[in-house]
Structure 1
Amino acid sequence: MTVHYFAAAKAARGVETEELDISDLGNGSPTTLADVLAHLGSAHTEGRASGKTLTEVFARCTFLVDGTSSRREDAVPSTGRLDIMPPFAGG
């Protein structure tokens, strides 16, 4: 899976994109978005965006899997694209 970070998520992670092997994250069950986010949050604790960790940034984000809005309980494919988008400001 290719993960794309935007805005505060990008700042907290420190990269714009990364490749992620999610084949082992579901513990025998289909891997959910929550599994992916938990893995990313625990694997990357060093970054900060306005004092917030990546996990804290995730709490306010919208997630798109292959261009479709996804909830944390939704299963995700092992390949494809995950967009992590915090709220955007401006007008």
Structure 2
Amino acid sequence: MTVTVRFFAAAEDAAGAPQLTSVAPDLAALRAELGAEHPALAALLPRCSVLLDGSRVDDSEPLPDGGTVDVLPPFAGG
């Protein structure tokens, strides 16, 4: 099963691409994979919101084939 992972703002900079694909079985495995493959992203991930198909879910949630994971770093502004 393959999911699309989209990165925004600082997460995109840290990942070095706006999106990639993964075959990780769940969000916990995806976080570990992303941190291992992109060291700059490893420090940012704990502060990011991670959405699966637009919803917040637990890290043990299985990733569905064709799903979309959005990695959103904290935003500042007013």
The alpha carbon displacement at 1:72 in A equals: 1.8
Secondary structure of 1:59 counterpart: helix
Higher strand share: 2
Which runs of 5 or more residues in structure 2 are unaligned? none
Q: 1:71 aligns with which of 32, 44, 58?
A: 58
Higher helix share: 2
Aligned alpha-carbon RMSD (Å): 1.3
8 Å contact from structure 1 (residues 63, 71) kept in 2:
no
Q: 2:41 aligns with which of 54, 67, 82?
A: 54
TM-score scaled by length of structure 1: 0.75
Which runs of 5 or more residues in structure 1 are unaligned? 26-30, 46-52
TM-score scaled by length of structure 2: 0.85
The alpha carbon displacement at 1:73 in A equals: 2.4
The alpha carbon displacement at 1:75 in A equals: 2.0
Secondary structure of 2:61 counterpart: coil
**Higher radius of gyration, 1 or 2:** 1
Runs (4+) of structure 1 exceeding 3 A deviation are none
Q: Alignment identity in percent?
A: 38
